[in-house]
Structure 1
Amino acid sequence: MIVSKAINIGFVPLTDAAPLILAVEMGFAEEEGLSINLVREHNWSSVRDKLSFGVLDGAHILLPMALAMSLGLAPAPNKIDIPIILNMNGNSFVAGNKLTKKIKAVGGVFGKTKDIGEALITLTQESPIRVAVPFLQSMHVTMLRHLISQLGHTPETVFDFHVCAPSSIEMALNTGNVDAFMVGAPWATNAIDNGSGHLMLTSNSIWQGAPEKAFGIRRQWLDEHRNEAEQMVRVLYRAANWVSNPSNASVASEILSNPKYLDLDTNHIESNLRGDILVKSNGMTINEPLALQFDAKRIGFPWKSTAAWIAEQNAPYWGVSIEDARTIAREACRTDIYRSALESVKAPLPSANEKVEGSLKARTSVSGFHEPIFGPDAFFDGITFDVA
């Protein structure tokens, strides 16, 4: 098979970079005729800047960051398109040991979303809680703001966000620069295992259907390389489905732990892939299948309505109109590329490009497929969002 010119793809060392890494390591890309040059980046600012200036063709990317870039919030104007979602959820809100005691003292209980939110509000009557996040234009920030706003309070009075690279977040907590953090796997597991803090919430407890990372690609590159873009979608679809199979977790974690990729504890990575979430350093774990999802046939479709909700939530903070944010977000979700790429492999495809967000309380079937495919996608407060 003829292998294309190498595509430069950036990633940040997180478990949810798995589809890209495994696409290369398991030979899926080569079988499709693609040559992928994976570029490890320390932080999200580097990914954004290199995408903006065309150093990277595409990247493992925070979905809100991709939308913000398409709205012009980047060093150089460059539209970023999303042809496939890489994973759903995967973030954890971890409180430092001092804050954990305070949360418990005012009635906060692990996993009880409203209780934790109300406890945080109670504790911030004098000053906001300092929370480390990997990037401001992220689902980490979007989810925490949604939690507080839906409880009737202004997020800025509760949270003071500090940007830290995922690899530096635990250090920021241990040095007292922040009180808590929200970060993706396996960095939260590492910190909890080291005794640095306690798990309060996983992101799926705020929104079960929250997309996390996407494959973002420069629109100019996509326009010039549509065939390769469709090949990338097929490769990532295959890799994501492969890693979602529990029987592959051991092999996948060994690959991901390699120093050139995550360079982190294999056991922590494997436990995240299996849905085993470490709550305390004493070994207390829970199994939460919705905590980190890769199953592309269920979560890979880039719903325009999902992006519109995210854009609408962030528009006031980004200094853009809600109408412009919605429009650009819907344009960025390339459902046409996803459909064209996957029709040939008989992937389950929804009949529409938008849905009522938050309306799926359980797994829902697609016409022609007996297995329930999409959902659940409920918000913690039961709201729904209809972009129409």
Structure 2
Amino acid sequence: MVDLSRRRLLQAGALAGSAMLLPGMMQAVWAAGSDKPEQQSVRVGFIPLTDCAPVAIATLKGFDKKYGITIVPTKEASWAAVRDKLVAGELDAAHILYGMLYGLELGIAGKPQQMANLMTLNHNGQAITLASELAERGVRNLEGLKKYVGQQAPGSLTFAHTFPTGTHAMWLYYWLASGGIDPFEDVRTVVVPPPQMVMNMRIGNMVGFCVGEPWNARAINDRIGFTAATSQSIWPEHPEKILGTRRAWVEQNPHTARALVCALLEASRWIEASEENRRETARILARRAWLNTKEQYLTGRMLGEYDNGIGKRWRDPHPIRFFSDGAVSYPYLSDGMWFLTQFRRWGMLKSAPDYAAIAQRINQTAIWQDAALAVGGMSAPSPPLRSSTLMDGTVWNGTDPEGYASRFAIHRKGA
């Protein structure tokens, strides 16, 4: 099974490499027919988080118009709302949690749906916040939390994430388990929409949460919590939000899909072109139409400047990234497969999936390739895998995914 997965991945990489060797042919194909977008108006859902930035910038800077479409951004209240509207066709595409899209494909995040990942929108930029009351009791890191949890009745402490198969759930589970805390036996976890995290911690509904910015910075500003870990300290340069849609929509609107990716690639490149562009992005996102918050909650971490709220300040070597010469946006197959390994680890999948096949049908590497050629200055990796070392020293490189999924000491019973 492992050898078959590896072979499929290498074949996919070879195809991507071949496309890069024939840019003239690709452009000639477009010229021979019509590459005009099938839809001129594209409804894109988003949750008010810092990492929706490419959607905002593509819309407000006119990158969508450059490629013949008009993005209609739609602000949503929860990830469940994004899921429901995307599946129902009320949204054409969305800023969405990586693991949520894969969960939809597999029927563990809702009714099974054929989904598509057009590109990765960002790396890094999430965090785990613990309540200030824990700091007052001497809990300032994972080791201290392990000791404190051991003093409580199992399940008496509540932690929140944003969606059961989402990225924040996976970061929270991984972090807790790396410290010897079973996220299903030792503590209780609940789902809370991102904009409601701070309020729920303020009234004592949980002692910790994992969410995207600016809500971790907001908890520090409101003096109700501190940053115990950044998501990039769990997995440096981890994939986070993606541009998700239905596979049927891509099949019916291939030119529109490519134009949408082009617009967001241009926006991502613009954000990272200078520090001033990042600052302007923070000012834009603070507006009512987007995050409706104070600019000060956004700017610091947008620039990679961190303060954990209990005396530590640093410039993070892995700040939130949107472009990095296109490397952020490429939909690596190994990134999607990692979420499958965690679904297996935590008992969400009862049998081993075909990791490679699932990633290949969801991650639209060919559309990314076409868009990258149109925008320019980017090339696809071959094969579509990358290697990463996580906080506990485990190395993930997309090979032997089932072996990787079963290697963890703490896992869900029956997984």
Q: Same fold (TM over 0.5)?
A: yes
Who wins on radius of gyration, i.e. which is larger? 2
Query: 1:157: how far off?
Result: 2.7
Structure 1 residues 126-149: Cα deviation after superposition (integer angstroms, max 9, x where no partner)? 334311212222222212222333
C-alpha separation in 1, matches of 2:308 and 2:180? 28
Partner of 2:185: helix, strand, or coil?
helix
Q: For 1:109-124, what aligned pairs fall within 5 Å after superposition?
A: 116-124=141-149
Letter matched to residue 127 of structure 1: P
* Match among 314, 321, 326 for residue 293 of structure 1: 321
Distance 1:2 1:319, change over 3 A: closer
Structure 1 unaligned spans of 5+: 109-115, 359-377
C-alpha offsets along residues 162-200 of structure 1, whole Å, 9 cap, x if unaligned?
111111111111111101111111111111011011111
In structure 2, the gaps of 5 or more residues are 1-34, 400-415
Q: Indicate yes or no: 2:272 matched with 1:237.
A: no
Corresponding position of 1:366 = none
Pick closer, same or farther for the CA change 1:75–1:311 going to 2, 3 Å: closer
Offset at residue 334 of structure 1 (A): 1.3
For 1:196, the aligned partner's letter is: I
Q: Which residue of 1 aligns with 2:104?
A: 69
Aligned pairs, how many? 357
Residue number among 373, 393, 408 corresponding to 1:343 in the alignment: 373
Find out whether 1:331 has 2:366 as its counterpart: no
Partner of 1:373: none
Deviations 1:72-108 (A, max 9, x none): 234444222112100011111111111123343xxx4
Query: Which one of 344, 348, 352 corresponds to residue 318 of structure 1?
Result: 348
Counterparts in 2 of 1:327 and 1:320: CA distance versus 1, 3 Å: farther
- The equivalent of 1:130 in structure 2 is 158
Percent identity of equivalent pairs: 27
Change in CA separation of 1:341 and 1:95 when aligned onto 2, cut-off 3 Å:
same
1:317 Cα offset (Å): 3.4
Any idea what the Cα deviations from partners look like across 1:222-250, whole Å, max 9, x if unmatched?
Answer: 00111111111111111112112322022
Q: Secondary structure at the match of 2:327?
A: helix
Determine the structure 2 residue equivalent to 1:379: 390
CA RMSD of aligned residues (A): 2.1
Question: Aligned partner of 1:323: which letter?
Answer: P
Aligned to 1:309: 338
Q: Which residue of 2 aligns with 1:375?
A: none
Map of 1:56-205 to 2, 5 A cutoff?
A: 56-104=91-139, 108=140, 116-125=141-150, 126-128=153-155, 129-152=157-180, 154-205=182-233
C-alpha contact 1:13 1:262 (8 A) present in aligned 2? yes
Q: Aligned partners of 2:186, 2:144: CA distance in 1, in Å?
A: 10
Inter-partner Cα distance in structure 2 for 1:306 and 1:156 = 24
How far, CA to CA, are the matches of 1:41 and 1:197 in structure 2? 25
Whole-angstrom CA distance in 2 between matches of 1:181 and 1:302:
27
CA distance in 2, matches of 1:229, 1:160: 40
Code of the aligned partner of 2:61: M
Partners in 1 of 2:174 and 2:234 — Cα distance?
8
Distance change >3 Å, CA 211–CA 17, structure 1 → 2:
same
Do the aligned partners of 2:146 and 2:179 also contact (CA within 8 Å) in 1? no
Residue 5 of structure 1: aligned partner: 40
Helix, strand or coil at the partner of 1:292: coil
Relative contact order: is structure 1 or structure 2 higher (C-alpha 8 Å, sep ≥ 6)?
A: 2
Amino acid at match of 1:194: D
TM-superposed CA distance for 1:60, in Å, is 0.1
Judge conservation of contact 1:308–1:327 (CA < 8 Å) in 2: no
TM-score, normalising length: structure 1? 0.86
2:70 pairs with 1:42:
no
Aligned to 2:286: 257
Q: Secondary structure at the match of 1:263?
A: coil
Q: 1:199 to 1:149 in 2, by over 3 A?
A: closer
Retained in 2: the 8 A contact 1:8–1:36? yes
Mapped partners of 1:136, 1:76: distance in 2: 14
